[in-house]
């Protein structure tokens, strides 16, 4: 059986999208764990209503502890041998659990990985029907290779969503009180797996909405990103064999993510931009010599570390030029 864990916090306007997608599943041997993490809106009431309506829905109400704490709580309550996570403002394709369960059963793997699709639309489902080849067109990946690809966000991703885990993998809990929790724990979860299989089929729809954690304005919590990066560096040195390639991947992840964080920080406090810039400068040679990073990004990176003010000045000029051209057209 699969346990689908949904951490719920103040999502009364979105929860039905996730639940509707679970109702559509072609695979039926699963339970739904709704963890109401101290919601102050009607989310808790909605969870209870779903529990009364569906026999496979279990609801737990707890004090607010954050996303990681809610996930960890859900894992403890789960009865399934395998677990997948669904954020309550996202949704699955109808064939998602069928594909995850079928691949796991066929290859007896500890982690089944898929691609996550970002969307700004709800209720837009694929018309695709699974075929026999979908359970065979998979990639068996060593731990080192999978982690590297996830850090580069090319084949796999660091997200805990869009994956199926053997429950024992999740005995290593998500870090409580942090954001970027998926990045923080990825190297430990991957390192514990004996067999990892990846499918290129997209099963998970991630809805990009304003107000979600990753789309919020800059705060000091964004520095959790760099703590997550450093934690991965430590784990890689201790537990992985292909240390050099993985160190390069971690450095690349830090720079790409760090620049994205600065794109919000420069609007509120340029002191944080300068602080992050000093962190990213340390990766200079690793980034410039990394063949997996394209030349366009390397040029942006060099300009950024030389002068963030010049970097954002040029960026604003180019943005205004594009907007002006759009108005003229």
Residue 258: Cβ within 10 Å count: 23
pLDDT of residue 326: 54
Is residue 176 within 8 Å of residue 89, measured between CB atoms? no
| pLDDT score for 323 | 56
Check: CB of residue 41 under 8 Å from CB of residue 12: yes
Instruction: Say what the pLDDT of residue 207 is.
Output: 87
Q: Are 202 and 93 in contact (CB under 8 A)?
A: yes
Domain residue spans in the chain? 2-214, 217-328
Residues 116, 208, 212, 99: is their CA dihedral positive or negative? negative
2-214: CATH topology: Spore Coat Polysaccharide Biosynthesis Protein SpsA; Chain A (3.90.550)
pLDDT truncated to tens, each residue of the chain (329 aa)?
Answer: 999 999 999 999 999 999 999 999 999 999 999 999 999 999 999 999 999 999 999 999 999 999 999 999 999 999 999 999 999 999 999 999 999 999 999 999 999 999 888 888 777 888 889 999 999 999 999 999 999 999 999 888 999 999 999 999 999 999 999 999 999 999 999 999 999 999 999 999 998 865 454 556 789 999 999 999 999 999 999 999 889 999 999 999 999 999 999 988 888 889 999 999 999 999 999 999 999 999 999 999 999 999 999 999 988 887 765 555 555 55
pLDDT of residue 98: 98
Which pLDDT belongs to residue 213?
A: 46
* Cβ pair 166, 110 in contact under 8 A: yes
């Amino acid at each position: 059986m699969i346990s689908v864990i949904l951490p719920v916090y103040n999502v009364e306007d979105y929860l039905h999208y996730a639940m509707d997608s679970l109702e559509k599943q072609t695979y039926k041997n699963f339970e739904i764990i709704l963890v109401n993490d101290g919601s102050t809106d009607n989310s808790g009431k909605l969870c209870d209503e779903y529990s009364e309506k569906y026999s496979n829905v279990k609801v737990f109400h707890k004090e607010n502890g954050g996303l990681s704490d809610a996930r960890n709580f859900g894992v403890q309550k789960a009865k399934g041998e395998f677990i997948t996570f669904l954020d309550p403002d996202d949704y699955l394709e109808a064939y998602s659990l069928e594909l995850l369960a079928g691949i796991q059963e066929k290859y007896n793997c500890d982690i089944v990985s898929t691609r996550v699709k970002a969307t700004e639309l709800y209720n837009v489902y694929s018309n695709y029907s699974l075929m026999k080849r979908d359970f065979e067109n998979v990639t068996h990946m060593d731990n080192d290779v999978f982690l590297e690809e996830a850090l580069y966000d090319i084949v796999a991703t660091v997200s805990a969503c869009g994956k199926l885990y053997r429950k024992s993998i999740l005995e290593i809990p998500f870090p409580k009180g942090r954001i970027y929790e998926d990045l923080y724990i990825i190297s430990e979860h991957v390192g514990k797996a004996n067999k990892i299989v990846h499918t290129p089929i997209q099963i998970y729809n991630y809805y990009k909405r304003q107000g979600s954690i990753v789309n919020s304005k800059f705060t000091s919590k964004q520095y959790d990103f760099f703590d997550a990066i450093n934690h991965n560096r430590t784990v890689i040195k201790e537990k992985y064999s292909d240390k050099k390639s993985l160190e390069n991947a971690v450095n690349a992840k830090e720079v790409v993510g760090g620049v994205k964080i600065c794109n919000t920080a420069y609007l509120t406090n340029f002191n944080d931009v300068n602080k992050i810039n000093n962190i990213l400068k340390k990766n200079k040679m690793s980034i410039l010599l990394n063949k997996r990073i394209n030349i366009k990004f390397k040029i942006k990176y060099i300009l950024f570390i030389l002068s963030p003010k010049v970097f954002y000045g040029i960026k604003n000029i180019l943005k205004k030029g594009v907007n002006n051209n759009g108005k003229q057209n």
